[in-house]
Structure 1
Amino acid sequence: MPQLNPSPWFSIMLTTWLIYLAIVQPKLLSFIPTNPPSNMPNLTSKTTPWPWPWT
């Protein structure tokens, strides 16, 4: 059963993760978000009960 032999697939997986961690992740983390979060005050609205017609 070839799927139980980890020799070719482990090296491919390890190489892929190393490329991701070394190259792709720093490039993705360097982007500035287009809509940064801001500290807005909590706006609480007054809720009123719904006037159900059958009560």
Structure 2
Amino acid sequence: MPQLNPNPWFFIMLSSWLTFSLIIQPKLLSFVSMNPPSRKSTTIPNTTPWTWPWT
């Protein structure tokens, strides 16, 4: 079964993984987020219970 022969596929996987890790990933991580996350307030909103007309 030729699918089990790792000779050509291992090199392709290794080279694509190294390309991603060494070239593409640092370029993607260098971008600055235009909308950085901000801390939300921890106050609990004041809610009123719903009054059902049929009860």
TM-score by length of 1: 0.82
Residue aligning to 2:28:
28
The number of equivalent residue pairs is 55
Residue aligning to 2:11:
11
Q: Distance in 2 between matches of 1:38 and 1:17?
A: 34
Percent of residue pairs identical: 62
Residue aligning to 1:41:
41
Give CA deviations for 1:2-37 in whole Å, capped at 9, x if unaligned.
111111101000000000000000000000001011
TM-score by length of 2: 0.82
Note the residue ranges of structure 2 that are not aligned, 5 or more in a row.
none
- The CA RMSD over aligned residues, in Å, is 1.4
Q: Which amino acid aligns with 2:16?
A: T
Note the residue ranges of structure 1 that are not aligned, 5 or more in a row.
none
